[in-house]
Structure 1
Amino acid sequence: MYDFVSTRDVKQGKIDFAGSLKTTPETYKYMVKTGCQPFPGDVLFSKDGTVGETAVVRVLKDFVVASSLVIISPRQEVMNSDFLAYVFASKTSKDQAASLMRGAGLPRLSVGNLARIEVPVPPLSEQQDIVRFLDCETAQIDDLVSKQEEFVTLLRERRSVVVSEILSRAQQDGNPPDKLHRRTRMGNGSTPRSSEDRYWLGGEIPWVNSSVVNLPEVLEPSRLVTEAATVECHLPMVRPGSILVALTGQGKTRGAATILRIESTINQHLAYIEPDERYWVPEYLLWSLRSNYEHLRRISSENGATKGGLTVGDLRALRIAMPPVHKQHQLLAEVATTTERVDSLIAKAQEHIAFAKERRAALITAAVTGQNDVPTTRKAG
């Protein structure tokens, strides 16, 4: 099997081979013949979805790339590959790319429009100086960001443990876990048939897709769904206050949950749990599902690829303690008090991360556009 790299595998200037899909030798040979094989020194540029992610190919490896990636082979006597990657990461290039993108549902930048982006081409020696300078400076910033992200991960893990400990008291107080489907209504979302080509063109009916839980904030208590894309065709509606659970998805998406605050339709990658509020406080049920996140992940792994992750049946079988409503409110109040400080620390760390990334972007833009003097390694003649 051979690595099949797509947009999702190009992150922060690197290629994630470990998480990439695999392809058969037959498909690999065909894709090599059709020009889908990069070589060292090539620059990969994502043109679909998350437009503008770049990575330089640094090793000779047998792999191919999806059509969502453009393979750019700079003329090495004119353009340094790393310099070009930094140029694409600059605000100047990103602004140009944004103005040339097309597509409302899935933003795209055609190869033709990519070729229209103007890039600076200083002498090769200056490009190399800029690369050395930016490699050094961005490495320090990236290290700071990495440490802050690790800190956020630890805080989230700690909060999860604390919340689980609080919710476990519901069972200790004589409320044995019961199957989730009792006193709830559950089901799958759906997607209009592809023949209904007008459903992408907007309308008046809110339609939530699985991207609502495809975010780092998915496990944050403040993450709620309050808006959605709109469609024209009629699908079953889900009531506000329902819990949405991602049945499929990459990374941390599968098994994640959030609350729907608007009446909306949902796609087939989501399940809804509509609680009977005489017995369930939606926020209590949400936290209970989140405390079962790792359990749901294990179930989805055991199901294997044929079942596509989680199913509504898996959720129906989930057992959660259901104390009286007044007790659920008490537990939620304790959760809010206990997690407030942790959430404040997370917010501050995220501010530091955002500031560092802004500084990194500004540094790159200034260097590649000549706004900053870059130290040179050349000797005076």
Structure 2
Amino acid sequence: MSQTKGVVRRSELTDAPQRAESLDAYKVCRKGDIVFNKMKIRSGAMGVAHEDGLVTYHYEVMRPRQGMDPRYIVHLMKSSWFTSELIARERGISAGGEHGGIRTTEVPFTVLRTIDVLLPEIDEQRAIAGYLDRETSRIDTLIEEQQRLIEMLRERRAAVIASTLAKLSDAMTRLKYVSTIQTGVTLSGAGDSADAEWPYLRVANVQVGYVDLGMIKTVRIPSERAVRSMLQRGDVLMTEGGDIDKLGRGALWHGDLPNMLHQNHIFAVRPNESLDSEFLVYWLDGPVARAYFRTTAKQTTNLAATNKWTVGNLPIALPPIEDQRGAVAALDEQTAAIGSLIAETERFIELARERRAALITAAVTGQIDVREAA
């Protein structure tokens, strides 16, 4: 495999006028080239180009040499064996800047060149590629059907929430009038060894609807500084940045671990006695909040971001506390079955993807005789 080199101008591919911006960072791909996203290669973001075109700097382009079937190479790169080789070589980079604090990884072409592979003869490559094209297509179709089911279930859940919230009092206020919004601790180095060590939540810990406690990191800071960012049971956690469809959604802190702090990229919203925490979580998942964060988000190439002022100005209905709790009880009951179905379908998709990966690995490593399997 060899990388496409040299800058190819847009005029070489089309009669359309040149665009004003420089195209120096773009790469050309020809029909039959292998194209992959170097930041998403582990998730299988690659394929064979069906026509000539240009790709951005997020992508790498490889042109197979004579005697190589590009379809086979793509399947090989999606195998578990190849992925394990990538994991050992990938490098971390930062993404999201001040809003996300997100670490990601990338695998440029120079990394791929360090992986040695044994390639069968071209006829066998084509036979394996044809077999995997057929079998993975069946699995992909099944996965797509299940993903559509999940979307329908999520739409159903959203409709249930919207319907229940619409029946409440239309008296509105702003979130900042019925809560305090606490900012988190800013991390800077390992801290002073003389200070106490505190657990803290990162952006990765705060998921839509729940807090993931699988990996908790610690930080050393003075006690007086820690207390300003310490969580209390009933706080609603919101991330400052992330995907636009997840921005502004909340996760309830149940106080599972004591003395827990939160990072500065997470807001902890602490309702007063007039606002129920669980009601707030549902409100953040409702149509008013979703529209609000979509229209107020600061959008970058890959991420969206909000800030404390915007969060504080979120419009929120404020019916009597008894009505809020009644709405929570009704929604818990109505959404529980939908949530179970979504979880079951997601598990099915996970198993199907595992089956797909195992099939690819077995075929490209010679564990399956595709002539017998055909």
Same topology, TM > 0.5: yes
Q: Partners of 1:299 and 1:55 in 2: how far apart? A: 33
**Secondary structure at 1:335 match in 2:** helix
Q: Partners of 1:189 and 1:61 in 2: how far apart? A: 45
Q: Please report how far the alpha carbon of residue 131 of structure 1 lies from its aligned counterpart in structure 2 after TM superposition.
A: 1.6
Q: Please report how far the alpha carbon of residue 210 of structure 1 lies from its aligned counterpart in structure 2 after TM superposition.
A: 3.8
**Alignment partner for residue 44 of structure 2, among 42, 45, 53?**
53
Q: 1:51 to 1:90 in 2, by over 3 A?
A: closer
Q: Please report how far the alpha carbon of residue 180 of structure 1 lies from its aligned counterpart in structure 2 after TM superposition.
A: 1.2
- Partner residue, 1:224: 211
CA distances 1:61-94 after superposition (whole Å, capped 9, x unpaired): 133323xx4433321x132222111111111112
Q: Partners of 1:264 and 1:37 in 2: how far apart? A: 48
- Work out whether 1:87 is the aligned partner of 2:84: no
Of stretches 139-148 and 114-123 in structure 1, the one that deviates more from structure 2 is 114-123
Q: Is the 8 A contact 2:181 2:270 kept in 1?
A: yes
Q: Is the 8 A contact 2:184 2:229 kept in 1?
A: no
- Work out whether 1:282 is the aligned partner of 2:277: yes
Q: What does residue range 96-135 of structure 1 map to in structure 2 within 5 Å?
A: 96-101=85-90, 103=92, 106-107=104-105, 109=107, 113-135=111-133
Q: Partners of 2:354 and 2:264 in 1: how far apart? A: 34
Q: 1:206 to 1:46 in 2, by over 3 A?
A: farther
Q: 1:60 to 1:103 in 2, by over 3 A?
A: closer
- Partner residue, 1:271: 267
Q: Partners of 1:49 and 1:204 in 2: how far apart? A: 35
**Alignment partner for residue 177 of structure 2, among 161, 176, 182?**
182
Amino acid at match of 1:65: Y
Q: Is the 8 A contact 1:179 1:320 kept in 2?
A: yes
**Alignment partner for residue 368 of structure 1, among 358, 364, 367?**
364
Q: Partners of 1:237 and 1:71 in 2: how far apart? A: 46
Structure 2, unpaired ranges of 5+:
1-18, 94-102
Q: Please report how far the alpha carbon of residue 231 of structure 1 lies from its aligned counterpart in structure 2 after TM superposition.
A: 4.4
Q: Please report how far the alpha carbon of residue 287 of structure 1 lies from its aligned counterpart in structure 2 after TM superposition.
A: 0.8
Q: 1:243 to 1:37 in 2, by over 3 A?
A: farther
**Alignment partner for residue 139 of structure 2, among 141, 146, 164?**
141
- Work out whether 1:63 is the aligned partner of 2:55: yes
Q: Partners of 1:191 and 1:50 in 2: how far apart? A: 32
Q: Partners of 1:357 and 1:350 in 2: how far apart? A: 11
- Partner residue, 2:165: 167
- Partner residue, 1:74: 64
Q: Partners of 2:217 and 2:41 in 1: how far apart? A: 18
Structure 1, unpaired ranges of 5+:
1-23
Q: Partners of 1:322 and 1:342 in 2: how far apart? A: 26
RMSD: 3.4
Q: Is the 8 A contact 1:296 1:310 kept in 2?
A: no
Q: Please report how far the alpha carbon of residue 190 of structure 1 lies from its aligned counterpart in structure 2 after TM superposition.
A: 6.7
Amino acid at match of 1:43: I
Amino acid at match of 1:71: V
Q: Is the 8 A contact 1:42 1:81 kept in 2?
A: yes
TM-score, scaled relative to structure 2: 0.74
Of stretches 87-96 and 148-157 in structure 1, the one that deviates more from structure 2 is 87-96
**Secondary structure at 1:273 match in 2:** strand
Q: Partners of 1:101 and 1:63 in 2: how far apart? A: 21
**Secondary structure at 2:306 match in 1:** coil
Q: Partners of 1:55 and 1:108 in 2: how far apart? A: 14
Q: Partners of 2:246 and 2:180 in 1: how far apart? A: 22
Q: What does residue range 20-31 of structure 1 map to in structure 2 within 5 Å?
A: 25-29=20-24, 31=25
